[in-house]
Amino acid sequence: MSTPIDISEQNGVRYLHFGSEWIQGAMRIRRPNALELAYTREMMAPLLLMPANDWPRRILTIGVGAGSICKFIYHNMPSARLTAVEIDAKVVAVAEQYFELPPDDARFEVVIADGVHYLLDTDRQFDLILLDGFDQNARAGALDTTPFYQTCWARLSSRGLLAANLFGRSKGFRESVERLKEAFEGRAVAFPSCDSGNVVAVAARDELAPTDATEMRARAYALKEKSGLDLRPTVSRLEEAGLFAGGHFRI
C-alpha cells in the first residue's frame, strides 16, 4: 500500500494529510509531545476508567499517522510497553522525520503490517487497544467490522479496554458503534462528539467497576498534573449527555 502524503503548517502547527483535505495528524511545533487534536485527547479517555497505579502496562495502537498518540504514551507512561502497527512504512518515515516519532527501543516498537492480520497472527494480550486507522478517503475498511472487533476483544486482557476513533461525518458511525457492541457483548459506548468530525467509542472486554463523576474527575485532575492532558471537559460532556446513569458511568 502506498499512501499519498502531504504536510502543511499553519500558526505553529504542522499537519499530516493523506493526499486529501482530511487532517490525519497534527503537532504543535513548540509542544511536540502534546495531543493537539481534540479526538486524540479523547482517545485517552480509558485512563479515566481504571486506577492509574498499574494500568495499562501493554498498549497496542493501530495506525501511526503523525505519531501523536504514540509520543504521548511514550513520554508520559514510562511503565507501559507500546506496540504501534502501521500498514505503510512511508507513514512511519514521515512521522519520524517531521513529527518527532521516537525510534524503537525496549518500551516502543513499530510493526509494519496490516492491523487486521497482525491481530489475527499474534497471541499477545494487551490492556489497551487504540484504533485510529484510515485511508486517504477517511475510510477504516476492515478495521471497522464485527469480526475485527471480535479479534480485538480476544486480544485484550481481563481488564482490557479499546478506544476507537470513528469518523463522525461518516453516515456509518452509529453502525460502527453497533458492531462494537455486538463484538463486546454490549459493553461499548460512543462518547459525545469532541469536535465537528470525530466520535470516540470505548469498549470493555469484561464488565468494569462503575465510576462516578467525582472519581473520574479526580483521575482527570491527576492526569492533568502528571502529563498536561486535561480530560475534565470530557467528564463534563459525559455528565451533560446523561451517561452517568444512577450516578455512575458504566460500559
CA 68/CA 75 separation, integer angstroms: 11
112 strand-pairing partners = 86
Four-residue CA torsion sign, 62, 66, 71, 72: negative
Active site residue 144: no
CA 138/CA 134 separation, integer angstroms: 5
Distances (CA, A) of 89 to 2, 55, 112, 128, 135: 9, 30, 6, 23, 14
132, 135, 206, 230: the active-site residue: 132
Q: Which of 133, 237, 250 is nearest to 189 (CA)?
A: 250
Residues known to be catalytic: 132
